[in-house]
Amino acid sequence: MELFTAFFLIVLLFVILGTSLWIGLALLGVAVFAMDVFTQRPAGDAMVLTIWGSTSSWTLTALPLFLWMGEILFRSKLAEGLFAGLAPWLNRIPGRLLHTNVIGCGIFAAVSGSSAATCATIGKITLPELKKRGYPDDIAIGTLAGSGTLGLLIPPSIIMIVYGVAANVSIAKLFIAGVIPGILLGALFSGYIVYWSLRNPTKIPAADSGMSFMQKIYEGRNLIPVVLLIIAVLGSIYSGLATATEAAALGVGGSLILSAIERTLTWKTFKEGLVSACRVYCMIGLILAGAAFLTLAMGFIGLPRHLAEFIGSLNLPPLGLIVLLTGFFIVLGCFLDGISMVVLTMAVLLPTVEKAGFDLIWFGIYIVLVVEMAQITPPVGFNLFVLQGLTKRQLPYLARTALPCFVLMVFAVLLVYAFPQIVLWLPQNMS
């Protein structure tokens, strides 16, 4: 009976989502329906208490601050400086300036925390420049789609904050656990660019005129502001001087100062950045509230316990469980955004995951990796929407160009499963 109820509620949720109703309101609507129909508990007071509890966490305060920091940087010249600083160093590497997508996204991810902001900011710089220099659209757009997801994995990461709150684990440890996997994934993307370039040498434009070492160093000065901001934000967390929330406030202050120095900080850009960050956070907050109440409703019905018992009754080995969960999240990612996926499933899955012996820090990074896959899977791949706005291309074309990066993410999941110390070595040795 419980499994039938679960199936019915899932179908109802997807039907409502198919009407284009906001995700947060769809989650709340299904939760109210479940409470009224399947339980004796009044929905009103439970909904109020749950919404307040899920949105008033002090830890969650870091989320709007990191969003605001990304919006400030998005409107500054810091992102343009990334291309100017990186380009001279990449001329002799197979693939040449295509690597600016990967490295630029990796660096910007370390000060943004948002996949969409990373993809949009770097894409606005690199795509026109690469097109002007004669690089093929397919490989340029595809590697940008994949590299933009590094905004979720390289700290500070918004989705890590959400997972840390949901799973009650240290956000600082999650941040530091994402460093090596983020570098690994970026290396895989760059490796694919090298491989593709060696297979298609005629499609890569000739190298620019060479620069002396000192000229490259001089151009590299454009990277200094971004690097300093990264050191300030992440260094304050890992040194113990600041919490994630305090570091986010430091990042906002630092980005405002840098923007003012560059004379891109005007009342208009300040207001636009603040309004945009508030709009995105309100969307995320509504999703968190709806998912928290739906989780409560499912708890009253008994679905989490029965689902955990069902998964446990399969007696899957750890690898089988990871394969099952990966397939589940990939399918779920075709319909829900990453924030919804995390908050909607964690309460149900965490008991089973802990019973299987997985470290919750490791599982958090695994979740981020599979959510990254969802960023480039249609029809609800946020990075694909961003790229559609940048390139005016259709979603099927964008998904096809991003497919190699999707395959590399699957390979990265297998690597961190086979070698969990890729994730756990830093947090274990720096705690």
pLDDT in tens, 15-25: 887 777 777 78
Give residue 420's pLDDT: 93
The domain locations on the chain are: 2-429
Picking from 93-97, 200-204, 263-267, 385-389, which range would have the lowest pLDDT averaged per residue?
385-389
Query: For residue 323, what are its two tokens?
Result: 């394969």
Residue 366 scores a pLDDT above 90: yes
> What is the rounded distance in angstroms from the CA atom of residue 378 to the CA atom of residue 384?
8
Give residue 210's pLDDT: 65
Using alpha carbons, select from 193, 190, 264, 224 the residue that is nearest to residue 85: 224
> What is the rounded distance in angstroms from the CA atom of residue 377 to the CA atom of residue 386?
13
Query: For residue 136, what are its two tokens?
Result: 């093929």
Give residue 219's pLDDT: 73
Q: Which residue has the higher pLDDT, 357 or 195?
A: 195
Picking from 47-61, 184-198, 395-409, which range would have the lowest pLDDT averaged per residue?
47-61
Give residue 308's pLDDT: 61
Q: What is the DSSP string of 236-288?
A: HHHTTSS-HHHHHHHHHHHHHHHHHHTT---HHHHHHHHHHHHHHHHHHHHHH
Residue 130 scores a pLDDT above 80: yes
What is the crossing angle of helices 224-238 and 78-86, to 10°?
110
- Percentage of the chain exceeding pLDDT 70: 90
The angle at the Cα of 332, spanning 326 to 337, to the nearest 5 degrees, equals 115
Banded pLDDT at 194 (limits 50, 70, 90): very high
Picking from 152-166, 275-289, 361-375, which range would have the lowest pLDDT averaged per residue?
275-289
Query: For residue 329, what are its two tokens?
Result: 């999240």
Half-sphere exposure of 111 toward its Cβ, with a 13 Å CA cutoff? 32
- What is the 3 state secondary structure string of 123-139? HHHHHHHHHHCCCCHHH
Give residue 269's pLDDT: 87
Half-sphere exposure of 245 toward its Cβ, with a 13 Å CA cutoff? 8
What is the crossing angle of helices 137-148 and 395-418, to 10°?
50
3-state helix, strand, coil in the chain (%, to 5): 80, 0, 20
Residue 1 scores a pLDDT above 60: no
pLDDT in tens, 226-248: 788 878 887 887 777 887 788 88
Half-sphere exposure of 2 toward its Cβ, with a 13 Å CA cutoff? 14
Give residue 159's pLDDT: 85
| CA distances in angstroms from 43 to 10, 36, 148, listed in the order given | 19, 7, 40
Banded pLDDT at 53 (limits 50, 70, 90): confident
pLDDT in tens, 383-431: 787 788 778 888 788 889 999 999 999 999 999 999 999 999 998 887 5
